[in-house]
Amino acid sequence: MLGWPASRVAGVIAFLLVLTSVLAFFGFQNLSYQASLQQQVADNIASAVNTLAGAGGEATVLVTFDPNQAGAGILLPSSIGGDPYTLQFTSSSVLILRGGNAMAARFVVPLHLWNPGELNRTTADELARADRMVPKWEIPSSTEFSLRARKVEGLGTAVFAYKVEWTEALQAALDSLGNKIHETVLGAGELLATGKDVNRTVNLTVGKPIDRLQAYPGILIAEGGKGRGVRFEAVDFLGRPNRTYATTERQLQDHSRENPGPLTFLTTKQVHIERRHMLLLDHRVPDTDPLQYEQVVRIYLY
């Protein structure tokens, strides 16, 4: 540019400035468009969850990233601006993560991040406890998943999100272990009828598809591959019970605080399942003469 008139140099500089501004404008427009697509993905998922919750019935919706499966459910883009993204779920919202950008949408009801199986009766406390065990779930924008609305007695409609391939075999294996615990407790026949205590030893065989089984009071969590399974089980306490049959509500609460769990199984493990009849010395049975202490039954796993 040596020897060029100053006016020509100024013109070239002005042109370059205008060109840079135009490119920046279109780049900004493109980023804004991608951000809006990102937000739309979050909004579409939240809308599906909220619609299932409000419908009041039972239904399962497939969320897919494959155009060939679009007729079977909800189709989401597998990439935005040529880049894959991550879906991060909590019980209250979904977050769409792409690069350093994040867009979120909230649910009007809690979303439960596990496969409910055949669950049809539970309590709000039990659902909340299961949600605390599975607080977050992340999947890439290529992984199909299901949204399922299920009617739960006493609670109305609950909505669940889970990956079918990751959880069906896992849930079946977990249910098999849970049934073994259940049958061991209830299968004592005449011993239970006579009100005697029952102590049984059982081998819980943990293997594929379960990589790890964790027992908490009232709930079992199985993990395998990229999935989790949840099962509510009638286990009141972890840890060996006290030798005495006379106790108090305070002592039972202390035992629960001292043994919060989890009791973890990585391979086959021998466990004790004990059904204990107890007298609560701080609970009296009304309208009895003389006054009698309340009798309770509690299940221990250790």
Q: What is the pLDDT of residues 211-264, one digit of tens each?
A: 888 888 878 888 777 677 777 777 888 888 887 778 888 888 888 888 887 888
Same domain, 107 and 172: no
The answer to whether the pTM exceeds 0.75 is no
- pLDDT value, residue 107: 92
Same domain, 155 and 179: no
Q: Domain boundary residue among 140, 162, 184?
A: 162
Q: What is the pLDDT of residues 15-26, one digit of tens each?
A: 444 444 444 444
Same domain, 151 and 178: no
- pLDDT value, residue 226: 65
Residue closest to 143 by CA, chosen among 215, 259, 225: 225
User: Higher-confidence residue: 223 or 12?
Assistant: 223
Distance CA 122, CA 7 (A): 81
Q: Are 39 and 47 in contact (CB under 8 A)?
A: no
Structure tokens at 83: 């880049």
- pLDDT value, residue 31: 61
Same domain, 11 and 157: yes
Distance CA 264, CA 222 (A): 10
Q: What is the pLDDT of residues 55-90, one digit of tens each?
A: 777 888 888 887 776 566 788 888 888 888 999 999
Structure tokens at 256: 């629960």
Highest mean pLDDT pick, 29-43, 87-101, 174-188: 87-101
The count of structural domains within the chain is 2
Q: Are 88 and 140 in contact (CB under 8 A)?
A: no
Same domain, 127 and 244: no
Helices marked H in 187-269: 190-193, 249-258
Q: Is the dihedral of CA 249, 251, 257, 263 positive or negative?
A: negative
- pLDDT value, residue 192: 45
Amino acid in position 28: F
- pLDDT value, residue 51: 86
Distance CA 52, CA 63 (A): 13
Same domain, 22 and 157: yes
- pLDDT value, residue 24: 46
Domain membership of residue 9 as a residue range = 1-162
Q: Domain boundary residue among 162, 185, 212?
A: 162
Distance CA 182, CA 32 (A): 55
Q: Are 126 and 120 in contact (CB under 8 A)?
A: no
Mean pLDDT for the stretch of residues 170-189 = 73
- pLDDT value, residue 16: 44
- pLDDT value, residue 8: 54
Which of 3-7, 193-197, 281-285 is the least confident region? 3-7
Same domain, 133 and 211: no
Same domain, 237 and 152: no
Coil, helix or strand at residue 288 = coil
Count how many Cα atoms sit within 13 Å of the Cα of residue 176 in the half-sphere of its side chain. Answer: 14
Same domain, 95 and 24: yes
Helices marked H in 187-248: 190-193
Same domain, 171 and 256: yes
Q: Domain boundary residue among 104, 134, 162?
A: 162
Same domain, 144 and 287: no
Same domain, 283 and 190: yes
Q: What is the pLDDT of residues 135-173, one digit of tens each?
A: 888 888 888 888 888 888 777 888 888 886 666 777 778
- Widest Cα–Cα separation across the chain: 118
